[in-house]
Amino acid sequence: MKQSLPARLVLYASVILTCAILVFPIYWLVITALSQPDQLRQLPPKFWPDEPRWGVFAKILAERPIFLWLGNSALAALGAVSISMVVSVLAGYSLSRFRVRGGESLGLFILTAKMLPATLLVIPLFGIFRMTGLIGSMWSIILAHATLIIPFTTWMLKGYFDTIPRELEQAAMVDGCSPLGALFRVILPVSAPGLAATALYGFVLSWSDYAYARTFLTNVQDNWTANLGITTMKGEYISNWSDISAASILVALPILAVYLFLERYLVGGLTAGSDK
């Protein structure tokens, strides 16, 4: 159906207005980073700085170990996602294809585990990591993030495997493949988009964590993740919003890039299993 001209204008106007309002906080973060600190302390505020100070990013990178923080966040995410994916692929496939005693209750437990508040689990994990000497190490954060990720990835992958027709394995096994070979040579290759979506989602979960990082890593500055580093800046630098905004942009950038370029996969992962 063709829309009339006024209807189109109203549509475009409301789209532009909505996007402008909703994205404004992100715009404001960028403008704050690019403004001179003393310009931020005057009213009315400037919605575009007189001389954008692009040098702020170089300055903050020199003053703060942002790359170290980002590297730690990436290491935590990589470790937690790898561990979670290995166990979840196998478990998800098993739950999707085999009749296993206790399989249903395991599935139910995993569903319930998604509801576990991190603020509850962080207490015993703190005790356990203290006893085993893992506190402050990257292993503590990798294992803690795995508790966040595994329930999601297992359930997402089971849902994904459910959508793959059984005839695929049956054909492979008729051709002489072992059941395990069918999984690795046939099912996993055709599941690549689902695996990518699931891993990306796990990556986002790990990257967003603050509670575990704050509890386990606060005393070990070399292992600070990006989110932890940013909050320490917020604590000490109440007045210098320009620097803190610049650091925030650098920290948000990787995940925003993932979102902008791989949105299809991420959204696919989010909505998987909900429309069934």
Q: Is residue 5 near other proteins by the rule CB under 8 A?
A: no
8 Å CB contact between 224 and 217: yes
Least distance to other proteins, CB of residue 193, Å: 15
Within 35-94, the residues that bind other proteins by CB under 8 A are 40-45, 83, 86-88, 90-91, 93-94
Among positions 28, 59, 71, 221, the unique one binding other proteins when judged by CB under 8 A: 28
13 binds other proteins (CB under 8 A): no
163 part of the interface to other proteins, by CB under 8 A:
no
Can you read off the two tokens belonging to residue 144? 């803690």
CA dihedral sign of residues 233, 236, 238, 240? negative
Piece of 5-13, 55-63, 64-72, 191-199 that binds other proteins (CB under 8 A):
5-13
Binding of other proteins by 117 (CB under 8 A): yes
Report if residue 22 touches other proteins, rule: CB under 8 A. Answer: yes
Closest approach of other proteins to the CB of residue 51, in Å: 19
Please work out the total of residues on this chain that contact other proteins, with binding judged by CB under 8 A.
105
Q: Which distant-in-sequence residues (6+ apart) come within 8 Å of 177 by Cβ?
A: 169, 185, 186
Question: Residue 102 and residue 65: Cα distance in Å, rounded?
Answer: 48
Give the footprint of other proteins on residues 206-225 (CB under 8 A): 207-211, 215
150-to-100, 146, 158, 201 alpha-carbon distances in Å: 19, 6, 12, 11
Q: Which two tokens stand for residue 38?
A: 């003393």
Among 120, 192, 219, 236, indicate the residue that binds other proteins (CB under 8 A): 120
Alpha-carbon distance of 169 to 21, in angstroms, equals: 50
